[in-house]
Amino acid sequence: MRNCLLLITSLAFFLSSCSISKVAREKRNLLSGTWTLEDVSYENQSGNFKSIIFNDAEDICFEGSNWFFRDNNSTGRYTIAPSSLCKEGDRYIRWSVIDNPENYSSQLQFKFITEKNKDISGKGYRLNISTLTASEMVLKSNATVDGEVINVVYKFNKKS
């Protein structure tokens, strides 16, 4: 009986340590759905920039792209529209929301997967969640330009 109680207590502790926080769960629910990336801009620096985002395409290609987040299995995709500068099509992702205890904020992290939800080896990405409401999302990531850190700002509007 004592061993059984110890096992149940250990299992409960293990399961609670693996669960996501209430804040992260709320943000996952808000993220679920389809978003349009309206604008990519740069903070803390003046001038014109041209960058490759997520090791995929130029920043201009992402403006107007549609992002879909499915929260029941943590998969999604973003779709880049066709143009003369951009390779069009869907890019599939596995995503999650994590709490960043260092600065008490949350981050969206994702990595690329195949259309059949198989992981693609390679690097993942983390974006700081600056604003997240039922209709608007602002994500930020750091980049280095000429030795100085700037913020890349992604502004989204929710479609559905």
Q: Which amino acid is at 8?
A: I
Residue predicted with more confidence, 136 or 4: 136
The pLDDT of residue 13 is above 50 = no
pLDDT at 50 over 50: yes
pLDDT tens by residue, 52-62: 899 999 999 99
Return mean pLDDT, the chain: 84
Rounded CA-CA distance 8/144 in Å is 49
**pTM for the model:** 0.81
Structure tokens at 19: 């669960």
Place of tokens 């500068």: 85
Give the pLDDT score at 54. 93
The predicted model gives 74-94 an average pLDDT of 93
Q: Identify the weakest region by mean pLDDT among 30-34, 128-132, 143-147.
A: 143-147
Calculate what percentage of the chain has a pLDDT beyond 90: 56
The helix (run of H) or strand (run of E) holding residue 107 is strand 105-113
Q: What is the pLDDT of residue 16?
A: 40
Note whether 93 and 119 are within 8 A (CB).
Answer: no
Q: Between the CA atoms of 53, 29, 34 and 138, what dihedral angle is there, to the nearest 10 degrees?
A: -40
Looking at residue 119, the DSSP 8-state letter turns out to be B
Residue 102 confidence (pLDDT): 72
Per-residue pLDDT averaged across 105-112, rounded? Answer: 94
Q: Please check the confidence at residue 146 and state whether its pLDDT lies above 50.
A: yes
Q: Are 61 and 80 in contact (CB under 8 A)?
A: yes
Kindly give, in sequence order, each residue whose CB lies less than 8 Å from that of residue 66, ignoring residues fewer than 6 positions away: 34, 35, 36, 37, 78, 79, 159
- What residue spans of the chain are helical by DSSP H? 2-18, 22-31, 59-62
